[in-house]
Amino acid sequence: MAYIERDGVKVYFEDHGTGPGVLLSHGFSASSTMWRAQVDALQDRYRVMTWDMRGHGQSDYPEDPDAYSEAHSVADMAAILDACGLQQAVIGGLSLGGCASLAFHRHHPGRTSGLMLFDTGPGFRKDAARAAWNETAHARAASFEAKGLDALGDAPALRIAGHRDATGLAHAARGMLAQFDDKMIQSLPGIAVPTLVLVGSDDVKFHPATDYMAGKIAGATKVMIDNAGHEANMDQPAAFNQAVRQFLDGLAL
């Protein structure tokens, strides 16, 4: 358990185990606590790093809305690898964390030894689709401002997230959950590292997105976890961990 600090903002991370590095990023309004079962399952062979995005969990909740962005998330991830003395790691994440992982690869392909994309999507090519997504993101921000942490859902990852208040979540919804261009989806054909695309069978809203990513990323491995929703790692941890372990064990790390 430690912190990195960038421009006066402290970002919480945990570092477990030894071996090849694996950096896991949580979904929006969750925190690093969602990865406990994965840390337990992988730390015997891998160095598993988890972290709390800005405005989440034990990280800082800056008042400046400009402190929340994809670029800041990528820089925070790179700083965590630096703090752990790692040049490369397998980069993985769920939902918003998957988007952050794709962004990290786009900016730091040489530091990405593999990608794991869980219950996530690659953004939008069409402006209208992106605008509709952003309406939802801004509505979530307004809900957090109006209701505080009562606006959190009842999903397991959210119940254990440990947020101190909802101010950071509102800023994160506008600056990190919202999307501003099509660079993420355009980057898919250029991904040359081994990639695992995983989705829960009940997470039907993300089936088209995960099918699209698996089709656009050369050599990607696609896995569907039965009887799992958007939090596939918590809904079916044994099956999820088996899929992740099989993927990681097959890499030349």
Judge contact between 111 and 36, C-beta under 8 A: no
What sign results for the dihedral spanned by CA atoms 7, 53, 164, 177? positive
pLDDT for res 252: 76
Task: Kindly tell me if the per-residue pLDDT of 202 is higher than 80.
Answer: yes
3-state helix, strand, coil in the chain (%, to 5): 45, 20, 35
pLDDT for res 253: 76
Count CB neighbours of 148 within 10 A. 15
pLDDT digits (tens, 9 = 90+) for 4-27: 999 999 999 999 999 999 999 999
Judge contact between 87 and 29, C-beta under 8 A: no
Q: Output the CATH code of domain 2-249.
A: 3.40.50.1820
Q: What CA–CA distance (Å, rounded) separates 6 from 12?
A: 11
Task: Kindly tell me if the per-residue pLDDT of 233 is higher than 90.
Answer: yes
**Helices assigned H by DSSP within the chain:** 36-42, 70-83, 96-107, 127-147, 156-159, 167-172, 183-186, 207-216, 232-235, 237-249
Angle at 26 between CA 43 and CA 38, to 5 degrees: 25
pLDDT for res 168: 97
Mean confidence (pLDDT) of the chain: 96
What sign results for the dihedral spanned by CA atoms 97, 101, 107, 113? positive
pLDDT for res 244: 98
102 Cβ contact partners less than 8 Å away, ≥ 6 residues apart: 115, 117, 120, 122, 184, 187, 188
Percent of the chain at pLDDT above 70? 100
Task: Kindly tell me if the per-residue pLDDT of 154 is higher than 90.
Answer: no
Residue range 176-183: average pLDDT?
A: 95
Across 97-106, 116-125, 154-163, 187-196, least confident range: 154-163
Q: What CA–CA distance (Å, rounded) separates 165 from 155?
A: 18
pLDDT for res 134: 96
pLDDT digits (tens, 9 = 90+) for 54-89: 999 999 999 999 999 999 999 999 999 999 999 999
